[in-house]
Amino acid sequence: MQPLRYLPRPVPEALTGLVDLALDLRASWNHCADLLWQGVDAELWDATGDPWLILETVSQRRLEELAEDSVFLHELASQVAARKERLCRPTWFAGLPESDTLAKVVYFSMEYGLSEALPIYSGGLGVLAGDHLKTASDLGVPLVGIGLLYQQGYFRQAIDAQGEQLEFFPYNSPSMLPVVPLRDAAGGWLRIDLDLPGRTLRLRGWEARVGRVPLYLLDSNDLLNAPGDRGITGELYGGGPELRLQQELVLGIGGWRLLEALGIAPDVCHLNEGHAAFAILERARGYMVRTGRDFREALSVTQPGNLFTTHTPVAAGFDRFSPVLIAQYLGDYAQGLGLPLAELLALGRAESENVDEPFNMAYLAVRGSGAVNGVSKLHGVVSRRIFEPLFPRRPTEEIPVSHVTNGVHVPSWDSAVADALWTRACGKGLWLGALEGQEEAIRALGDETLWRFRAAGRRSLVEAVQARLEWQIAAGGPRGEQVPQPLDPNVLTLGFARRFAAYKRPDLLLHDPERLVRLITTDPQRPVQLVVAGKAHPQDKTGRQMIRRWTEFARRPELRGRVVFLADYDLALAADLVQGVDLWVNTPRRPWEASGTSGMKLLVNGGLNLSELDGWWAEAWAPEVGWALGDRCEHDDDPAWDAAEAATLYDLLEMEAVPAFYERDANGVPTAWVARMRESMARLTARFSSNRMVREYTERFYVPAAAAYRRRGAEGGKLGAQVADWQRRLSEGWSKLRFSAVSVARTSAGLRFEVQVYLDDIPPTAVVVELYAEPRDPGGSGERIPMSRERGLPGAVQGYLYSATVLTDRPPAHYTPRVVPFQEEVAVPLEAPWVLWQR
C-alpha cells in the first residue's frame, strides 16, 4: 500500500506543482521558493511562512489568476524542476561503499520539531528528531520516521499582567497541516487496529514529507472510536500514566503495524528514547508470524537490528508503569507472543522476580536492542551508571552504552547572512557531504569580515524582537501595556532561552538581581542587553515561579530597552535568537543536561557560548572558543554550590566577556572577541552538526546493525535460533558454574595464573575464562586477559584447568579470574549479562 496524492481543494491544472512544493517540509530549511510563495499571498507569507497554510486558505480566484500569470508559472516550473533535480542528485550515502548493506532505517520518536507548520513537538527531543530526519534527507540515508499526529500538540504560551504563564491549546486541524492521509490500494483511508482492554482502537495514518524522507504519523481521532479513545493522541505529554501507556502502545505497536501495512520492512529500528520500545515486541511478533519461530528466537533475530538512543540523564526520568496496568493492557498480547505475563514484565525490570517493581520502558529498550547509546560523551558515562542494575556485578566501564554526541541541522539554524558567508568561504553544498576543508576556509576569514557578519545578525535580532513584542501586545497582551523601548543593535546581546525546569537552573543568572542590574546598566561605555524566553510545563510550579521572576525583572523601569522576556518560545523564536545573540548563557546542573543543542545552533552564526561544563559543552569547550562554568564535578542541588557558580557567572561576564566585546582596535573591531568567534566557528560548527551525527550513526550503527540482522535471519533464522538456544543454556546453567583452586606463580615470563573451573552443563565453547584488572586511571579501561583451556580435570565432568601468563608490574591481587559468555556475533554483555567472579 502506498499513499495517494491528496488534493485538498480544486487547484487549476497549471498549478498542481504547487501541491508538491507546499507539502515538502524542506521549504522550512531551504528558502529557494520563498519568493514564489510570497507571490501567492505576501501578507500570509510574511505572517506565517507556511506554504501549505497559504495553499489551503488563498482564494480560488487568486489561484485562477496565478494560473494565467506567465511569470508566476515560469517560476513555478523552475522550482518544480529544481526540486526534482535535488531529489535525484547523487548523495553522500549513495557513495558509501557499504550502502548496499542498508535498505531502510525506521526512526521512532514521540515528537518531531520540523517546522511551526507541523506543531507536534515540545522541546529538545523533538527538535533533535526533526534535525535527524532533515539530515537523513540531505545525505540520502534511506530512513523513514514514525510518530503521532497530536490534535493539540504542546501548549502555546502567553504572559499575563502579573507575569504569570498562561497556556493555550489550539487545535491542529489536519487540513491545515502539511500532511496527507494514507490510502490503501482501494483508495480507502488506511487504518491500523490495536487491541485495548475490551475494545479495538482504530488508528488513522498520515504522511508528512521531509525532503527525501517520509514521516508517517498515527492518530486516534477516528469517529469509530469511543470519545475517550479519540483523545489518546490529543495532547503531547498530557494526562496520567494510563494515557501515556496508551500513546506508547500506539507509537510502538501501532507504528510497526503501519510499516507492515505500507510494505516497509526496515533493516534497522532506531528508538529515539524509550517511548517506542513496544516496537521491539511487535517487530519480533511480526517475525514469528512470518517464520513460525517462537518469541525468543524471533527476538534473537531482530535484536541486532534495533538501536536505542537514550536522552535521559537520571533514572527517575524513564517512563515506568505499574505491573497492574501492564497486565491490563498487555496480558492478551503476551499470550499472543507465547509468553507468560511474568516473562514479559521481566523484560522491563531490573529484578525479574520482584513482582512490585514497575515496568521500565528504557529497560525493555536496552534488553531488546543490539546497541545502546547516550547523546554526549559525558551522558554515555552517566548512562552506564544508570543501567548498571541490568548488568549486575559488571564493572561500570563494561556496561554496554556508547555515545553519539548530538548535532544540529545547520541549514535550519543559520541566518541568511551566515549561509552567504559560509557559501562564499566553503562553497555550495557544504552540509550535504563529509565537510572536508571547512576549518581552513573559516580560519582564513578576516577580522572585519567576521565582525560585519556578527553585527548584521545582531541587527536582525533587534528587529525581530521588536516585531514579536508588537505582535504579542496586539494579539492580547496585558491591557494598557506599551511596546518596550527597542534594543540597541550595537550592544552586547546575551541570550537565555530554554525549558524552565529546576535542573536547568534558569534563575541562576537572577541569583543576585541587583548585581545583574549593575552589569547591564552601570557602565554606559559597556552596556549589556538580555533576551530571555522559555516555557514551563503547566504542572511545574517551580518552573512557573521562575518565569514570573524573570518577567518581573524584565519589567523593572531601569531595564527598559535592555531586558525583554519573549513569550511563546518556539522554533521560529529559537531561530531568531541563535542567529542574533552574541553570547548564549546555559546553566544546567551537571550532569542533568544529557547533551543540549541550543548552544550548538549559535556556532554557524558566530555566537559564543558561556555554559556549564555539562552535555556537549563538556567535550567542546576550550578557552579559545568560549567560557565555561563548573569544575567538571557533580554537586547535586547544593544551594551553596549554586551560589558559588552564580558568583562565577557574574565574574566571567564582568571581567572577561564584556571587556572582550568592547575592547576595540583602530577600526572598531574587538579582535579578542572575533578570535574566539573564528575558532568557535572553525573548530566546532561541523563537529556539532547533525551532518556529522547522522554520518556517525550510519557508519557506526546502521550499516553494522543491518548486516548483523541479515546474518541472524538468514536461512529462516538459523543463526538466531542457535543464539537463542545458547542464551537458554546459559540462563539455565549459569548458577551451577563454580571456581575451585586458584594458584599464582612468578616466573621469568611474568605472573602465571592457573584456575580450576567447573562448567556443569555449559559447553566450554560457550564461555571465556579470563583475568580482569580494574582500570589504572579513572575513566580508563580495565585489563582483560583471556586464559587458555589446558586440559580436563581428572575424574571431573566439565571441569577444566585454565591458565594465563601476564607480564605486568601490578601485584597478583589486582587480577581476578572470571567467566563470561562467548558466542560469535553476539553482543556481550548486552545479549548475555551473566558473569561469574572467583572470590
**Residue 537 pLDDT more than 60?**
yes
Give the number of residues written for the chain.
839
Confidence of residue 816 (pLDDT cuts 50, 70, 90): very high
What's the rounded Cα separation, in Å, for the pair 467 and 463? 6
Give CA–CA dist 377/700, Å, rounded: 15
pLDDT at 398: 96
Report CA dihedral (661, 664, 665, 669) to the nearest 10 degrees. 50
Per residue in 731-758, pLDDT tens?
999 999 999 999 999 998 999 999 999 9
Percent of the chain with pLDDT strictly greater than 90:
85
What would the mean pLDDT of 760-776 be, rounded to a whole number?
A: 95
Report the distance separating Cα 690 and Cα 406, nearest Å: 7
1-15, 43-57, 192-206, range with the lowest pLDDT: 1-15
- In the predicted structure, residue 482 carries a pLDDT above the cut 80: no
252-to-61, 274, 283, 355, 808 alpha-carbon distances in Å: 45, 10, 9, 24, 51
Task: Identify whether the C-beta of residue 457 lies closer than 8 Å to the C-beta of residue 580.
Answer: yes
**CB 722 within 8 Å of CB 167:** no
Residue-by-residue DSSP string for 301-370: HHGGGEEEE---SSGGGS-EE-HHHHHHHHHHHHHHTT--HHHHHHTT-SSTT-TTSPEEHHHHHHHT-S
Q: What is the mean pLDDT of residues 404-417?
A: 96
Grid cell 496565478 in the structure block, residue? 66
Q: Is it the case that residue 153 has pLDDT exceeding 80?
A: no
32 forms beta bridges with: none
Q: Is the model's pLDDT at 68 over the cut of 70?
A: yes
Secondary structure (DSSP) of 211-237: TTEEEEEEE---TTS-HHHHTTTSBTT
Query: Strand 626-629 relative to strand 608-612: parallel, antiparallel, unpaired?
Result: parallel
Residue 27 has pLDDT above 60, yes or no: yes
- Rounded distance between C-alpha atoms, residue 189 and residue 169, angstroms: 27
Mean pLDDT, all residues of the chain = 94
pLDDT of 667-722, one tens digit each? 999 999 999 999 999 999 999 999 999 999 999 999 999 999 999 999 999 999 99
Confidence of residue 3 (pLDDT cuts 50, 70, 90): very low
Question: For position 5, what pLDDT does the model report?
Answer: 46
Can you tell me the mean pLDDT for 636-648? Answer: 94
Q: Flag whether the pTM goes above 0.75.
A: yes
Q: Which residue has the cell 583475568?
A: 771
pLDDT at 479 over 60: no
Asked if residue 141 has pLDDT above 50, the reply is yes
* 3-state SS assignment for residue 568: coil
pLDDT tens digit sequence for 494-515: 999 988 999 999 999 999 999 9
pLDDT at residue 184 tops 90 = no
pLDDT band at 4 (very low <50, low <70, confident <90, very high): very low
Of residues 47 and 307, more confidence is placed in 307
Question: Above 80 in pLDDT, residue 478?
Answer: no
- Domain extent listing, the chain: 13-88, 102-406+701-709, 416-688, 737-837
Cell numbers placing 454: 556578527
User: Which of 576, 421, 612 shows the shortest CA–CA distance to 497?
Assistant: 576
| Residues 195, 285: Cα–Cα separation, whole Å | 15
Query: Residue 738 has which C-alpha cell?
Result: 563454580
The CATH number for 737-837, chosen from 1.10.3470, 3.40.50, 2.60.40, 3.90.70, is 2.60.40
Phi/psi at 271 (5° precision):
-95, 115
Does 102-406+701-709 match 416-688 in CATH topology? Answer: yes
- The residue among 107, 123, 88 whose CA lies nearest residue 216 is 107
CATH entry, 102-406+701-709, from 3.30.365.10, 3.40.50.2000, 3.30.1360.10, 3.30.479.30: 3.40.50.2000
Geometric angle at alpha carbon 804, from 801 and 810, rounded to 5°? 135
**pLDDT band, very low/low/confident/very high, at 475 (cuts 50, 70, 90):** low
Q: At what angle do helices 416-426 and 447-474 cross, to 10 degrees?
A: 160
User: What are the two backbone dihedrals, phi and then psi, of residue 321, each rounded to the nearest 5 degrees?
Assistant: -130, 145
In degrees rounded to 5, what are phi and psi of residue 597?
A: -130, -10
Q: What is the pLDDT of residue 480?
A: 53
User: Which of 743, 817, 828 shows the shortest CA–CA distance to 784?
Assistant: 817
pLDDT at 49: 87
Cα 492 to Cα 277: distance, rounded to the nearest angstrom: 46
> What is the H or E stretch that residue 418 is in?
helix 416-426
Among 24-28, 60-64, 495-499, 579-583, the range with the most confident prediction by mean pLDDT is: 579-583
Strands annotated E in 544-593: 563-566, 583-586
Q: 17 pLDDT band (50/70/90 cuts)?
A: very high
pLDDT, residue 1, reads: 42
User: Which of 282, 169, 293 shows the shortest CA–CA distance to 234?
Assistant: 169
CB 304 within 8 A of CB 702: no
Rounded CA separation 405/384 (Å): 15
Q: Rounded to an integer, what distance in angstroms lies between the CA atom of residue 264 and that of residue 562?
A: 54
Q: Name which of 302, 134, 149 is nearest 212 in CA terms.
A: 134
What pLDDT sits at residue 8?
Answer: 61
Asked if the model's pLDDT at residue 342 lies above 50, the reply is yes
Domain 416-688: give its CATH code.
3.40.50.2000
Residue 367 has pLDDT above 90, yes or no: yes
| DSSP letter for each residue of 710-768 | HHHHHHHHHHHHHHHHHHHHHHHHGGG-EEEEEEEEEETTEEEEEEEEE-TTS-GGGEE
pLDDT category of residue 477 using cuts at 50, 70 and 90: low
Q: Which residues pair with 408 in a beta bridge?
A: 689
Largest CA distance in the chain: 97
Cell of 405: 554526541
Q: Is the pLDDT of residue 357 over 50?
A: yes
Residue 715 CB partners (closer than 8 Å, separation 6+): none
Whose cell is 498487555? That residue is: 330
Query: What distance, in Å, lies between the first and last C-alpha atoms of the chain?
Result: 60
**Axis crossing angle, helix 241-249 with helix 323-336, rounded to the nearest 10:** 20
Please tell me the number of Cα atoms within 13 Å of 133 on its side-chain side. Answer: 33
Give the per-residue SS3 of 470-489. Answer: HHHHHCCCCCCCCCCCCCCC
Give residue-wise pLDDT tens across range 229-276.
999 999 998 889 999 999 999 999 999 999 999 999 999 999 999 999
CB 146 within 8 A of CB 124: no
Q: What is the pLDDT of residue 472?
A: 79
Backbone angles phi, psi at 317, to 5 degrees: -80, -10
Q: 788 φ, ψ to 5°?
A: -90, 140
Instruction: Give the pLDDT confidence score for residue 430 in this predicted structure.
Output: 87
Residues 112 and 180 sit within 8 Å (Cβ to Cβ): no
799 pairs with which residues across the strands? Answer: 758
Report the alpha-carbon distance of residue 258 to residue 479 in Å, rounded.
49
Residue with cell 502539511: 178
pLDDT of residue 476: 62
User: Does 576 or 152 have the greater pLDDT score?
Assistant: 576
> Residue 777 — very low, low, confident or very high, per pLDDT cuts 50/70/90?
confident
Q: What is the DSSP string of 5-40?
A: P--SS---GGGHHHHHHHHBGGGGT--TTHHHHHHH
Please state the rounded mean pLDDT for residues 365-374: 98
**Cα 546 → chain centroid:** 26
**How many angstroms separate the CA atoms of 261 and 264, rounded?**
8
